[in-house]
Structure 1
Amino acid sequence: MSTNETNAIRLQAPKSHNREHSVPLYLTSSYVFESAEQARAVFAEEEEGNVYSRYSNPNVDELLTKMCYLEKAEEGIAFASGMGAVFASLAALLRSGDHVLACRSVFGSTHQLLTNILPKWGISHSYADAAKPDEWEKLITPATKLILIETPSNPGLELIDLEWLGELKRRHNLILVVDNCFATPILQNPVDYGTDIVVHSATKYIDGQGRVLGGIAVGRKDLIAEIRYFSRHTGPAMSAFNAWVLSKSLETLQLRVEKHCENALKLAQALEGNAALEQVRYPFLASFPQYELAKRQMRQGGGIITITVRGGYEAARRFIDNLQLVSISANLGDTRTIVTHPASTTHSKLTEQERQATGITPGLVRISVGLENVGDVIADVQQALAQV
């Protein structure tokens, strides 16, 4: 039986008459039929076939075949961005009057979606604290339809026990949606624990080189059918070119993620005890509050660490401005190491109270550790901290 590494490389769209080794780009908006009867049959879904690239495309299909395999999912759908995947999944599966239970630590745009957009259609939400699992069940109401979480969370790296959460959702017959962007299918598979839908910002580790945008949702066949119907008629489709790039990126995902993890652990270990820092957080550090859960649930610790610089925002700003090698960007999962100050960028639209509730302090800096020589990265971060 082939391994994940092999299938991420060898699962490909059928070869054309040209016998190409690498799958070509299918840059076409539409497709032709051999006859009027064939067109009718394909539109009626009596016969398989492509109709229009907003619905399906060979490059997108190949990407989804690989992602479904890696995430152990039945079916999937691709989107123009990660937030497209999150929004479409929620909008397709929820109705007016429904309630969402979400982990408090979510990406800034997901927070805006829950607090300012979905309420326009009568969809409410409650936030649960990852550190207080006893409170989750109390927040479930008769209107609760869906649980939405990130683990590890962005940016605080909070973990949620997926085995426990799977049992909770089964007891209450809820839909469980997990954002697996930080871990990727290389480090954990939420489907193993009963997750119904797994979403990704493919812009991050799936691409891994800062080139294209993309989003993916994979999971239960019946739920993906609902999301597909919604997306087919609202149009958040992934382009063939981006799908082609992302499918190629999956061929190196295993190697890249393993190196990200190796470098991140070394950087975290090198920074522990630095006098300029209040805290270093990384799931596979023994000092991490949820270290035992991380070791049980994840295969490695991931490519993200967070540091809290003593002195708040001004000290964090000086640290960031003194970096010479590391990039300042709101992205993550790149081959290049990136720093982000969440309180003033990705999570700046949250209120101060909301940021405090999720541990996003003025001195918090997120570091997405890249694939450079880790000694060079450590040296750059240490020299910048020395000038704070």
Structure 2
Amino acid sequence: MRFDTLLVHEGQSSQPVTGDVVPPIHVATTFDRSPQDPVTRFYGRGENPTREALESCLAALEDAPFALTFSSGQAAAVAVLSLVPPGSKLVSSDDVYGGTYELFQTLGRFGIEVDYVDLADPERRDAAITPDVAMVWVETPTNPLLRIADIAAISARASDVGALVVVDNTFATPVSQQPLALGAQVSLYSTTKFIAGHSDVLGGALVYRDSALHERLLAHRSVTGAVPGALDCYLTHRGLKTLSLRFARQCANAASVAASLGESPFVGAVHYPGHSDHPQHDVAVRQMSSHGAMVSFAYLGDPETLLGGTRLFGAAVSLGAVRSLLALPASMSHRAIPRDDLLRRGVTDNLVRLSLGIEHPADLIDDLSAAMRAGMRGHAREGADRP
């Protein structure tokens, strides 16, 4: 089956007795052994049919035999980081989600060193991935500057030194980018974002092909208990069915908004992989089937005026939902990162990150333009009032 058909049908078989075309939500916390032949389900922390249906679909989307879902994207990240041996080294994209940075800060207690590197720079990338590196953590596109790292090149280099490659594929989604096909060992998702798509359910997932990895990750999840509930899995799976449709509209909206921002007198740099002048545009074209639904830009006025200054964009963290969202990473999603580090990475106070929803693009452009225009007027007045 092709991708869009898998979205709808994988893990969604009709029920043999009732004929339900939507599988029921299994809320049982424990399972009677006597009707099971062979015995495959024991306890809800380890097994759940609703969860397994979602995992079956996620795995199929990347032509993989294994997927595990978790209570959040952070829980999924913790699970895969449990594979890093104490005393070893991890190389990470330097432009990385603030929550991931906070998580990496805890690794020091296990003697794990984290080296933040611009993985979009081939020379720095290859110099950093050395034999003492156990894992390479790749965000591409990165959050929030939308840099693009070459997954195939990173995977080839990591293979030479025996390092595991984990790609946070949350921004790109499996619709646009297939990390396993490019040589990575693990695709990681915050399913809260584009996969579920409606800002109403938390979740995370890991997708991979190695059976030995599966044994270790499954054991970690079962012991730590970071499992999503049955209703969460049902909602995520329901949202997943429309991922291709939603993401196509969101990507089209991002392209329209990015083009408008590029012509705005209120905007400095625009970060969007679809623009031909993006530093890694050629890599994006090669490894992604679309340019994503995220855009970030430097606003020349007071960025705080945009929070609450729009009618359609919600001023909120998170992303990937049907409603468009606007955030200031420096004070919101990345606030835990020291200011000097943010500035060094290019995340300034006036950097605005947009997650485009499925609204009409003209309405989004009008709304954002009006808010920026009003903010610039207020900015000018403040300057005039200063002694």
Q: Of the candidates 252, 261, 277, which is equivalent to residue 271 of structure 1?
A: 261
Match of 1:256 in 2: 246
| Percent identity (aligned) | 28
**Separation in 2, partners of 1:68, 1:284:** 28
Structure 2: any 5+ residue segments left out of the alignment? Answer: 377-387
2:131–2:162 contact (8 Å) kept in structure 1 = no
Partner residue of 2:379? none
| Distance across 2 between alignment mates of 1:358 and 1:224 | 35
1:379 aligns to 2:370 (yes or no): no
Counterpart selection for 2:197 from 192, 197, 208: 208
Please list every run of 5 or more consecutive structure 1 residues that lacks an aligned counterpart in the other structure: none
Q: How far 1:118 sits from its partner (Å)?
A: 1.1
Superposed counterparts of 1:238-253, under 5 Å: 238-253=228-243
* Aligned equivalents of 1:249, 1:304: Cα separation in 2: 19
2:136 to 142, 147, 159: 147
Match among 47, 51, 54 for residue 42 of structure 2: 51
- Determine which of 228, 232, 242 is the counterpart of 2:222: 232
| C-alpha RMSD of the superposition | 1.4
Tell me the SS of whatever aligns to 2:18: coil
TM-score (norm. length: structure 1): 0.93
- Pairing 1:84-233 to 2, within 5 Å after superposition: 84-91=75-82, 93-115=83-105, 117-219=106-208, 220-233=210-223
The partner residue of 1:296 within 286, 295, 306 is: 286
SS in 2 for 1:321: coil
TM-score normalised by length of structure 2 = 0.93
2:311 aligns with 324
For residue 272 of structure 2, what is the aligned residue in structure 1?
282
C-alpha separation between the residues in 1 aligned to 2:288 and 2:17? 43
1:364 match: 351
Whole-angstrom CA distance in 1 between matches of 2:97 and 2:19: 43
Q: Which residue of 2 aligns with 1:32?
A: 32
The residue correspondences of 1:40-79 to structure 2 (distance < 5 A) are: 47=38, 49-79=40-70
- TM-fit CA distance, 1:256: 0.6
Letter in 1 for 2:157: L
Aligned 8 A contact 1:13 1:58 in 2: no
Q: In the alignment, what sits opposite 2:385?
A: none
Q: 1:133-187, CA deviations, whole angstroms, 9 ceiling, x for partnerless residues?
A: 2122322344311111110011111110111112111111111000000000000
Aligned mate of 1:350, from 324, 327, 337: 337
Contact 2:33 2:39 in 1 (8 A): no
In structure 1, the residue corresponding to 2:234 is in which secondary structure? helix
Amino acid at match of 2:150: D
